[in-house]
Structure 1
């Protein structure tokens, strides 16, 4: 029997390897995950949860003056299990429409263009319109497909008189529910090196050993997450957060879809979201659960929008607001807290879809209680769904909300009054209020809450490390208060808590800086300024102290700071000191370039007395960019053991789905 099973598994592995192809090398693509002229979405190596819904699209391409052959077919076969066999005992390929009982759309056609390599790309940006290659497309889609029976399936697109594109799909079984609730904390852009730096500036230590630890340090399970996107080494927040919410890879800028080549940002093949699955969970599995979304960014921003939106373009923020309550299958979350007020109204500075008052729409159409400041949030004790929008854009960062308050200014009121949003809540206040509402509405059925510390990433981009680390510490403090709240409310044994990031930045600490010595030299004495950086045995402890034990340094403008930086940055100046007057702007556009694209140089108004650091990447980048490194995932509670070790970002979805008992199967 063992030999028979081993032979079957070997045969399946051989069949899979025969279909699978390595990702092609290169930087520019005609269409992500489509190296040939025949495209299948979902592509090869996709994984599904049994019973989850998804769309399928095929495209046949022809370049330049050629026309696509419109005669093509799609078949599916199960490589093992209940699929009917032919007389030779092998699985039988069946027409996709017949097998799924889903009618294909009418065949569509369109054109698009792309640049084949770096040479063509930069020529095009410099004005050569002929540098792009034109593509003509024939396409068919199948909407709302589902596969209820777990197993491995082969899908084959036959096109152009004998050519094939094959994809292996894996359908995972539904598991017995392990937890009632899941909290997913996301430190956007957070890495292990950032956590190490945050610990260093916030926790006491004696003889080189910490006497207190961060909340994340105390989680019993630690794993690592690989963050590559569908078609690139380096991911953005949209498709990485989508992986957590769908179990599928995607491309930069995409939310809950596989990007196709059509012009519309809303017709791409969709993947069913974790929140959508939770909303339609069967009674036998516990009934439809609650959904909460908390962020310090705009609630339409990539990471929160990945919980409820479907679009190829994360910047379609006005429509994303509409999708929450009026989409084809709206999530209608129980709790939505964060920034992004300008997309809810059409008053001064408003950008709402078709001028709609979405505060009124959310209230009248879906029964939301709407609050727009910290005081109203904390006063709310009701059971109605809660919409709290506290800033016109992204909420101000912790360091400015709590220390350098003079930096909070401008027409940032979320309702369009033109005033400044001075009464903004902290992350812990939003999370705890969100938990209160979810508990009142769904204690019996359970719930899922995504809470994001967004400005860890948003401050790493402009190289404002102090503000990024402060927001990381706010996340850590929030985690501790959340654990206390769960214990008080007797929910700790029923709740899985995860802490992770959607992607990385190449930040690290390589020493310490004596800023007093640094500042004693003139701007021209860069060699002497650099001598203020201590490495190895001279990398002494920084001066940050947390005397009141609140988890944050008492002072941020101290003598001994961290020598820290990233591997990818624009030309800028660095003085290793907190930017007291607001977020750093490291580089600004220059007018001296003969190129048609924008080139950035060091900002003359920031870190004026710092040392010069020439760019390590293309000069058309104005801020730092994401990096390749794995990100940590901390886990505590029922099912936490699943998250140990190295895992792909898509596995986070499947493991959460397993813990919550999501999906349906025959």
Structure 2
């Protein structure tokens, strides 16, 4: 019989000195992320909660190989006073059965098994066909749904179970911190710009190729440069050094850490990708904001990726697998407490229909469903988007997959002529895609019409900064970064024209970084004058230190982008994590790079065919570059911007936005 576990919560600031924290385990392979022992509780140790925000709780008790787990475990909770943080043994509050404390009955007990690899040796043995390399884990589990902890403070949570392998009684102790949030808001609106994969080094490079300079001094700055507040964001996930876009964007939208690929949930070990313990999303909180703050707020989602992709989906979705894109489309309007955003603009048309390669859930026509069930006006190209002046919620899908990048939409337009990119499944190319600023400004117009009084939240993503950094296509990545920066400038102008600038907080950040940097400049004319075999001579075209002269990019028309991308003097740039490939430091005019090919990846002979060879730093199973560890910048402007100065965890961004919007009064 499953006994309900008891919890105890704790104020993190004081708890650290009184409680020995569970150190993260070294290594690369875990039985289950965020679960240091055979007894697991999600949310895990040291989680920070927003008072009144909803969340699920799951307990898992594990037994490895032939050992069956204890099913007679118990969960309890108690709130600690300030004095208790110094001496918890004298706490006057005794642990209380979790079900009794929360007044929420758990789901029926569950059981399943899964397998994992104990280390890299076991993993690679399995890849060579060893079926005995993995370790089987048997699981007993219970889950509590829609829990709320309304009273701020520190709690201690205790899971007690029998370790049947050793015969010992064991206790998993967790500390949870519940943060109070002011009920009075500082800003009515928040815009969160995300340059996916954007780092300080990339911003520096984008500035270098786009802004005029005299005697080494810039005569113009980027719009990001002009924000009054600058901070840094730590991006680690709950169980790994390097994050992906799903769990990093999820941290911004929930205030909780998660695992790779997870959106709005803690990744458990269950077979289903949709039953993992959920966390309430910022957009959901905004929808049930108190009447004192004007009623529910509006929500806008804008991206140059598929609208089901990790970063936009983090605004409205709950799943352990970011790749469940067909179901993610359904969750927007049919999910549990669905967000039903007022503005959804981006790509991903193939998951809305079943025509000509369409992949919609159960063959559903979601264009029709969004229109008939939720009243969306649907547009499919730039002209239709700009022509829309209504007040109905707006769904704009402009590509079957991710939107083409700025450089191809605006410079090398011949690369758009690809069959099958039309978002409606016609088989035709999508030749009239909007730019990011088109989508953001139109989205703001709709939000303003619908929620001028109540306020709104918009997430706008420049997705292909990241998507082009992966294949080492630095020109396309920097062009999309410049598109983001120009969009920020036009957004600030729009807010001022509409008297919203004093009511709106603007944040610009990234979800993670790439290890990109510039180490010199390249004379491509000299580089190209040598034979392919003359790699040493080609490398002599790279100038460093006093020979690293300024590149040839010029923005004579002042639009924020270089007038010419195929120039003589370019940037010597690279990343730390890359596959074996060839490099010529020149823009690929024929579309995005494919740096490595074959099953065990080697240099693509058709990519930079006259370049130099660069031996990869990654394993042979990696075809593109990977994310990096570095902190990412955050720029802030407007009411509440001072909160984002300094170094902060990515989960703190959620709590600070909640504070700015005054989401402390919940029902």
What's the CA shift for 1:88?
A: 6.0
Question: Which whole-Å CA distance do the structure 1 matches of 2:255 and 2:230 have between them?
Answer: 20
From 474, 494, 497, give the equivalent of 1:488. Answer: 497
Q: Could you give the per-residue CA deviations for residues 400-430 of structure 1, whole angstroms, max 9, x where no partner exists?
A: 0000001112210000000000010000000
SS of residue in 2 equivalent to 1:162: strand
Q: Does structure 2 conserve the Cα–Cα contact (< 8 Å) formed by 1:150 and 1:665?
A: no
Normalising by structure 1, report the TM-score. 0.96
Equivalenced residues, count: 649
Shift of the alpha carbon at 1:9? 8.8
Q: Distance in 1 between matches of 2:522 and 2:73?
A: 65
Distance 1:266 1:560 in 2: 51
Q: 1:211 maps to what in 2?
A: 219
Return the alpha-carbon distance in structure 1 between the equivalents of residues 200 and 285 of structure 2: 32
CA distance in 1, matches of 2:16, 2:180: 22
Please name the residue that 1:106 is paired with: 108
Distance 2:13 2:443 in 1: 50
Counterparts in 2 of 1:323 and 1:16: CA distance versus 1, 3 Å: farther
2:48 — aligned with what? Answer: 47
The answer on whether the counterparts of 1:173 and 1:665 sit within 8 Å (CA) in structure 2 is: no
The residue number in structure 2 matching 1:129 is: 131
Find 1:162's aligned residue among 160, 169, 173.
169
Contact 2:289–2:666 (CA under 8 A) maintained in structure 1:
no
Matches within 5 A, 1:347-366: 347-366=355-374
The 1:88/1:398 distance shift into structure 2, 3 A limit, reads closer
Task: Report if the CA contact (8 A) 1:12-1:79 is conserved.
Answer: no
CA shift, 1:663, in A, is 3.5
Secondary structure (helix, strand or coil) at the match of 1:121 reads: helix
- Residue 380 (str. 1) matches residue 388 (str. 2): yes
Residue in 2 aligned with 1:586?
Answer: 595
Worse-superposed segment, 189-198 or 99-108: 99-108
Q: Tell me the distance in 2 between the aligned counterparts of 1:270 and 1:30.
A: 21
State the distance in 1 between where 2:12 and 2:35 align: 27
Q: 1:438 aligns with which of 426, 447, 453?
A: 447
Instruction: Tell me the CA shift for residue 105 of structure 1.
Output: 1.2
Match status 1:231 vs 2:239: yes
Alignment match, 1:171: 178
TM-score normalised to the size of structure 2? 0.96
Q: Contact (CA 8 Å) 2:157, 2:174: kept in 1 or not?
A: yes
- Segments of 4+ in structure 1 off by > 2 A? 8-18, 85-91, 663-666
Q: Is the 8 A contact 2:12 2:154 kept in 1?
A: no
Deviation of residue 166 (structure 1)? 1.1
Given candidates 424, 432, 456, the residue that maps to 1:447 is 456
Name which of structure 1's ranges 254-263 and 121-130 shifts more when overlaid on structure 2.
121-130
Q: How far 1:81 moved relative to its partner?
A: 7.3
Aligned mates of 2:92, 2:125 — CA distance in 1: 52
Q: Which residue of 2 aligns with 1:633?
A: 634
8 Å contact from structure 2 (residues 317, 328) kept in 1: yes
Contact 2:553/2:567 (<8 A) preserved: yes
Distance 1:88 1:496, change over 3 A: closer
Equivalent of 2:316, from 275, 284, 308?
Answer: 308
State how far apart, in whole Å, the 2-side matches of 1:148 and 1:223 are.
30
Could you say which residue in structure 1 is the equivalent of 2:146? 144
Q: Deviations over 1:483-521 (max 9, x none)?
A: 000000000000000000000000000000000000000
Does the 8 A contact of 2:80 with 2:91 survive in 1? no
5+ long unaligned stretches in structure 2? 1-9, 163-167
C-alpha contact 1:33 1:231 (8 A) present in aligned 2:
yes
Residue 13 (structure 1) aligns with: 15
Matched with 2:266 is 258
Distance in 2 between residues matched to 1:441 and 1:82, nearest whole Å: 49
> 1:288 maps to which residue?
296
CA contact (8 A) 1:86 1:92 kept: no
In the TM superposition, residue 86 of structure 1 has moved relative to its aligned partner by: 12
Moved more, 89-98 or 37-46: 89-98
- Cα 1:547–1:66 shift into 2, 3 Å: same
Alpha-carbon distance in structure 2 between the residues aligned to 1:665 and 1:424: 40
Indicate conservation of the 8 Å contact 2:281/2:315, yes or no: yes
For the residue of structure 2 that corresponds to 1:124, the secondary structure is helix
SS at match of 1:382: coil
Query: Cα RMSD over matched residues?
Result: 1.7
CA-CA distance at 1:662 after TM superposition: 1.0
Find the partner of 1:186 among 173, 194, 211. 194
Please state whether the residue corresponding to 1:658 is helix, strand or coil.
helix
Aligned runs of 1:28-47 on 2, under 5 Å? 28-47=29-48
Look up the match of 1:566: 575
Distance 1:187 1:89, change over 3 A: closer
Cα distance change, pair 102–15 in 1 and its aligned pair in 2 (3 A): farther
Q: State the match for 2:3 in structure 1.
A: none
SS of the aligned residue for 1:511 comes to strand
Ranges in structure 1 where 5+ consecutive residues have no aligned partner? 1-7, 590-597
Change (3 A) 1:89 1:44: closer
- Bigger drift between 64-73 and 295-304 goes to 64-73
SS of the counterpart of 2:136? strand
Give the whole-Å Cα distance in 1 for the aligned partners of 2:114 and 2:31: 9
- Evaluate the alpha carbon distance shift between residue 321 and residue 16 of structure 1 in structure 2; reply closer, same or farther with a 3 A threshold: farther
> Alpha carbons of 1:539 and 1:109: their partners in 2 closer, same or farther (altered >3 Å)?
same
Measure how far apart 1:82 and its partner are.
12
